[in-house]
Amino acid sequence: MSAALPAADGRPRCPWGLSTEDYLVYHDTEWGRPVHGDQALFERLCLEAFQSGLSWLTILRRREGFRRAFAGFDIPAVARFTDADRERLLADPGIIRNRAKVDATLANAKVLAGWEEGELDALIWSYAPDPASRPAPRTLGDVPAVTPASTALAKELKKRSIRFVGPTTAYALMQACGLVDDHLADCVSRGGS
């Protein structure tokens, strides 16, 4: 399995971050950095769900389309979407037009609109493991797809009526939002640097 590799600038990075310029920018500026706030976490939760079964690059390249289509992922605004909005979304070429994923996003917004401000942030971050309990991965083979924490987070979200978030999607969310740092040990971005 691949260890960190040098990019064009000579600095080592996680191999997946070197395949396209889009990935390089995302790897260096976003992935693994702490994300807080209900709206920001709702966006990431939705995008990770839309990514299920697809390449993250597909989602990353359509992120602005998703933001336009879903009112910037403003939870109360999305919770007010109507059947006409649903049909508009299913016809929007700027997003992934998967009926189950669109329906889950709309249903999740309705659920989250009933939560207290900060509740989604607090819930998700309550599943962040102690960084000292996780050694830095040396290769991509050392990076899990699922952990006990992601399984527990997915179970809790499901219990609270949040749809389309299984343990693998929950772990991808944890990685993307900085709950875990899965940058490889020799990666220049390890530890948020």
Which are the catalytic amino acids? 26, 48, 56
Question: Which DSSP symbol is given to 4?
Answer: -
Question: Which DSSP symbol is given to 183?
Answer: S
* Contact in structure between 57 and 23 (CB atoms under 8 Å): yes
Give, for 57, the enclosing helix (H) or strand (E).
helix 56-61
Give the CB-side neighbour count of residue 88, counting CA atoms within 13 A.
13
CA distances from 121 to 64, 100, 101, 124 (A): 22, 24, 22, 5
CA distances from 58 to 34, 143, 165 (A): 22, 22, 19
CA distances from 128 to 75, 116, 118, 173, 181 (A): 23, 20, 16, 11, 10
- Per DSSP, the three-state class of 71 is helix
